[in-house]
Amino acid sequence: MADLTTNTAGIVSPNPFWLASAPPTNTGDQVARAFDAGWGGAVWKTLGQPIVNVWSRYASMDINGVKMMGLNNIELITDRSLDVNFKEIYEVKKHYPNNAVIVSLMVGSREEFHELVKRSEDAGADGLELNFGCPHGMSERGLGAAVGQVPEYVQQMTEWVKEVSNIPVLVKLTPNVTDIRYPARAAQAGGADGIALINTINSLMSVNLDTFAPNPNVDGLSSHGGYCGPAVKPIALNMLSQITSDPQTAQIPISGIGGVSNWQDAAEFILLGAHSVQVCTAVMHYGFRIVEDMIDGLSNYLDEKAMTLDQLRGQSVERIKNWQELDLNYVINASIDQEKCIGCGICYIACEDGAHQAIFANPMDNGRTHVEINEAACVGCNLCSLVCPVEDCITMVEIPNEFDACSWDDYTTRNGKLAPRAEHEWRPIVGPPKSDI
């Protein structure tokens, strides 16, 4: 099995799978059970001046019967005393010296940071994570995302921590910004050893149509909260790649977070440059044991690829380009495997109404629909292959052509030549003008 030992900004863990700062890391007992299950590290539930929570805290979105594809919470930081938390951190670290314990901090003043840094180090923490991310509750108190949204604050508070810390410091960023590169650069300028992202996305989950009460329902009322879970992974991947492809921050180690549920998700974060990944929602849903499959899956994948974790890391970073650098002469068409097609007609409707009218459909005697691609009209948008319910029934096939690669930049500034585009014939609008009806 491939060695999964990981070093994230000087924080070493036996594998890249960490629990994110959240309910699964509320207590020492939970973190100990997670380490027994195989988790390589844990970021403790954020410490600060303990708060009081509301009772109703979570709401979720199911997609097609799959529960909790998106999770929203209005929970704040730890509601347990600092003394109890630090005692448990000390105990966990004593029992699990090889696992990484990272203490998440959220306070507002230099003095408070200095005190909590010292107490974290005394408790044996391997690293710190500065929570500049929560978009709800704490942000209204001037903390969390209220810091992460202002690069100057990010830099200043990071400097406060770095001036006394003897252990690595990760800065956890909020995704609730226009351009994640600015707070990332600010964290680096403040001396951060690494970055963690993403925290939750500002959201309002749903409204009950009978009672008109929003969810999570706190006696008929609610508040905006933080959104996470599988649904946010694409947003997290994009922000990760923005930082790893920014020349100013490309070298800073990153702990990737957001919608990681299995080893494949983790591998994607690693391919885009993450050193470790953190998981919250999937553990809240399925428990600590999911890490077993994550470890086996990632190890097997590395063995199959004959690569080490370090070799895998960042392999896809260079493949994310600006749009104007993509090849306009890379031509693909949809291709239907008639042996696999069940004649449901879904691809036809999608292409006809929602895309480019490039599928011929004919009703068959058995009530099904025979579908064929009109190659002259297909723009290779992928939509039919995305909606087809049969795996590998519609594949996208490259159509070779004699034209050289031509990007938008080549086309507009270097006299590049474009391959012929798919043509859409004139189609009459069927039926009489509505004004005559």
Please report, as ranges, the residues that interact with ligand SF4 according to CB under 6 A. 334, 336, 341-347, 351, 355-356, 358-359, 369, 371, 373, 378-384, 388, 390, 393-394
Show the tokens assigned to 113. 């940071």
State the first-to-last Cα distance of the chain, in angstroms, to the nearest integer: 73
Would you call the peptide bond into 216 cis, given omega within 30 degrees of 0 as the criterion? yes
Residue 29 has, within 13 A of its CA and on its CB side, a CA count of: 1
- The binder of 172, among ligand FMN, ligand SF4, none, by C-beta within 5 to 8 A per type, is ligand FMN
Minimal distance, residue 332 CB to ligand SF4, in Å: 8
Nearer to ligand SF4, 1 or 386 (CB): 386
Q: Is 388 noted as a catalytic residue in this protein?
A: no
Beta-ladder partners of 129: 104, 170
Minimal distance, residue 267 CB to ligand FMN, in Å: 15
43 φ, ψ (degrees, to nearest 5): -100, 115
Please report, as a single letter, which amino acid is at residue 63: I
Q: Which of residues 201-240 bind ligand FMN (CB under 6 A)?
A: 226, 228-229, 232
**Mask: binding to ligand FMN, 59-98, rule CB under 6 A, as x and -?**
------------x-x-x-x---------------------
Closest CA to 130 of 62, 213, 192, 59: 192
Nearer to ligand FMN, 18 or 348 (CB): 18
Residue 50: how many CB atoms within 10 A of its CB? 15
When asked if residue 268 is in the footprint of ligand FMN (CB under 6 A), the reply is: no
How, if at all, do strands 66-73 and 225-228 pair?
antiparallel
How, if at all, do strands 201-203 and 225-228 pair?
antiparallel
Nearer to ligand SF4, 101 or 388 (CB): 388
- The binder of 343, among ligand FMN, ligand SF4, none, by C-beta within 5 to 8 A per type, is ligand SF4
Segment interacting with ligand FMN, rule: CB under 6 A, options 176-184, 263-271, 273-281, 424-432: 273-281
Nearer to ligand SF4, 342 or 405 (CB): 342
**Mask: binding to ligand FMN, 132-171, rule CB under 6 A, as x and -?**
-x--------------------------------------
Minimal distance, residue 357 CB to ligand SF4, in Å: 7
Q: Exposed (0-12), middle (13-18) or buried (19+): which is 222, by Cβ within 10 Å?
A: buried
When asked if residue 50 is in the footprint of ligand FMN (CB under 6 A), the reply is: no
When asked if residue 277 is in the footprint of ligand FMN (CB under 6 A), the reply is: no
Nearer to ligand FMN, 68 or 252 (CB): 68
Among 22, 125, 267, 359, the residue binding ligand FMN under the rule CB under 6 A is 22
- The binder of 82, among ligand SF4, ligand FMN, none, by C-beta within 5 to 8 A per type, is none
Nearer to ligand FMN, 73 or 165 (CB): 73
- The binder of 394, among ligand FMN, ligand SF4, none, by C-beta within 5 to 8 A per type, is ligand SF4
Query: How far is the C-alpha of 109 from the C-alpha of 158, rounded, in Å?
Result: 11
Q: Are 61 and 70 in contact (CB under 8 A)?
A: yes
Closest CA to 232 of 206, 204, 192, 200: 200
Q: Strand, helix or coil at 38? A: coil
For 108-114, the CB contacts below 8 A with 24+ separation are 108/142, 108/143, 110/160, 112/48, 112/49, 113/157, 113/160, 113/161, 113/164, 114/160, 114/164
Q: Strand, helix or coil at 387? A: helix
- The binder of 92, among ligand FMN, ligand SF4, none, by C-beta within 5 to 8 A per type, is none
Residues lying near ligand FMN in the complex (CB under 6 A) are found at 20-23, 45-46, 71, 73, 75, 77, 104, 131, 133, 172, 199-200, 226, 228-229, 232, 257-260, 279-282
Q: Which residues are catalytic?
A: 134
